[in-house]
Structure 1
Amino acid sequence: MIQKINSYINGGGTNELSKDKIILNAGLFVLTGLCFLYTVLFFIFEVYDAALLLGFGCVLYGTAIYLSKIGRYEFSKYLFVTFFTSYITYFVCKIPSDLGTVSFYMLAVGFSYLIDVDKKLTLYTLALTLLGFLFASFQTFILGYSLGGTFLTSLKFSLVPSSIIIMYFIIRHFKNRLDLKIQEKEEETNKLKDINKSLEHFSYIVSHDLKAPLQNINTLVQFIDKDHKDELSEEAMEIFTMISACTTRLDDLITAILEYSKSGQKATNIEKIDVANLIEDAKNLIEIPDGFRVDYSKSLPSIIGSRTQLEQVLVNLIGNAIKYHDKKTGNIQVLVNPIDKDFLKFEVSDDGPGIKDKYQNKVFEIFGSANETSRTDSTGVGLAIVKKLVEVNCGEIKLVSEYGKGSTFLFTWPSNANKVQN
């Protein structure tokens, strides 16, 4: 029997939710019965305004219950709010009687039914308003009612507490809708994060598996070049040279993709870093041609973070400034300044050719390019890796460039990675 009632009220679902709905519906059935009982009593005592008032409430609750049961929950809610407005406007404002004590608490109970039926808070508010209803009934019909039909209680008694209860339910209703929207957005964000992790994992596996056969091809080409070079024609050797160059290029590209897939991972090797020494180490990892200078201040602060990741960012930015320079001489400047107690701002500037406006939004994309032609010595992944490394450390990066006058890459980096990530 209970299962049939659960199925009827809840349309399927968990037993816990069905029990909540049974309790709530039972509460409204009790209220409807009380409305009907009081309506009959007022007719007997010939208090017709009160009978009409409570009769209207009886119809209102019955309609709301029926609509909710047949699955028209939203319509039931809006119908109730509409009736609620007219109920207060006409009966409470038009008729100067002291019947608000009962009617206001009954309406508050109705709101507890129509808002968040699957929350324990609803049962709590239902119990609270039921107690208020019983208290108001006691004061009105036992303490304040005389045999002559005069009401001694005042509407002011019920207006303030009841209005507060109803306002609470209205605020609760809109807050619930806002919380639902926030929850949906969080779920979408988590799904996107999971998809992104899956793609990174997939690219890592695919790239790793591709390297093995590629190395085999390269080994075979080197074997032929070493042991059978004299047996092959010049044209055949040119073909093998092209194959070797292509495999080397593909190997570099796969290595770059592997680095990109790993760059989204948070660093675990957190340590104290002397920024000036780190910039010097980054310089030593780059082949700097004669005629190029990399300037920076020797008195820079120390920070706490991933030395490997920050070094990789600087190596990429300084290396690109040299690689894409259009002259045989050039100057690269690295500036480091604190923004606040939590972040430093790094600026890597060059006096190279600059980047056209139409390419500036593409430089941080994977396989993006800063000009019309692609270089064979570039994988197009470096700046994409830089962007991911900066963002995984809670920083931001942007490009400021004027074509023909050089470029500046600005990025923020935490002064204490442990503090920012926590």
Structure 2
Amino acid sequence: MALETFDTVILGAGAAGMMCAIHAAARGGRVLVVDHAKAPGEKIRISGGGRCNFTNIGTAAKNFISANPHFAKSALGRYTQHDFIALVEKHGIAWHEKTLGQLFCDGSAKQIVSMLLDEMNQAGCELRLSTTLDSIERDESGFVVTLGGEGAAKIRSRHFVVACGGKSIPKMGATGLGYQIAEKFGLAVTETRPALVPLTFGEDVLAGFREIAGVAANASVSCGRTSFEEALLFTHRGLSGPAILQISSYWRERQPIRIVFLPGDDVFASLLSAKRENGRRAISTALGDILPKRLAAYLAETHGWTGPIGEASDRKLAAIAETVQNWEVFPIGTEGYRTAEVTLGGVYTAGLTSRTMEAKAVDGLYFIGEVVDVTGWLGGYNFQWAWSSGWAAGTAISERTA
């Protein structure tokens, strides 16, 4: 097998890997991107309901979880959401803002994939799909990489970039390969677990949840000192919806979560008003005026709130309001990597240079995107980290190969 030569080999044709390739090749460097998948950008394609929540207008370091909360600041501050929006607009892709600063394509997420591929082609990058990494070794002049599959080859490169993501959505081929490469070269990896994932419950709770599966309600959901106010969804497996996905990144086993339905509303005042207006109505019926009716019926049955509201004392109504706005439940787990949108944890940032994403102890080795211990909130933040970290590594590489 003849030995091929590239300036840079990038493992992973996802958001971070393609972004890195574009900028690594900007000054004429020879760049190869490899991926085991049959098509590039598969997580981009399925994201945002097929419309790709490609960034968030309010992106800041505070929207990310990491053992080092300051690590992401450099990349995020030098390649911002506004820079990526400019790239999207350059390619004529129409977009719109939804709630909480989330930006989506008006059309298809495939437009973002096509945009990145166009930029890669213009930069002269080579892409090999259905190609596996069989081995990687390092010597005095760089890396020797052996590839298998359709793009089988033996390659020498000065730079090697790990952009193969985490363990989330294994049906798309996600593995822990990036962490294995880090450990092979002596980099530490923090604990990894599913994030932005639905929570599951024991059968005692789940039996009731199944009765109201499909019911959604606005809620503030908290765990410890962290809270998110968005929609919550009851499912046959437990709880989902944006508020639950957000809090899942902070939840740990044996911890409760606190649910505040109708955050900002005075539920007690609403119940007192209902009592005065028509005391013959059942408590669950009155609750159904301010909560989804199936949810109100479930809460009333679960807590034994029976009888006409007119016969309930003000103290009882206050207790009902307190439960509605301070409901504590104990998840027993999550749905796991199967449905997790991202992986929490990853390559420990203490071993990386925040400006370039290069391993401090291994010249020419870079880690970007989800494989790094930087995890964003739901709402486009993780894509922005992919763009920013990919840009940081790619720019640093192009400066070295110019």
Q: Give the TM-score normalised by the residue count of structure 2.
A: 0.22
| Higher helix proportion | 1
Q: Indicate the structure (1 or 2) with the bigger Cα radius of gyration.
A: 1
Higher strand proportion, which one?
2
Structure having greater relative contact order (Cα 8 Å, sep ≥ 6):
2
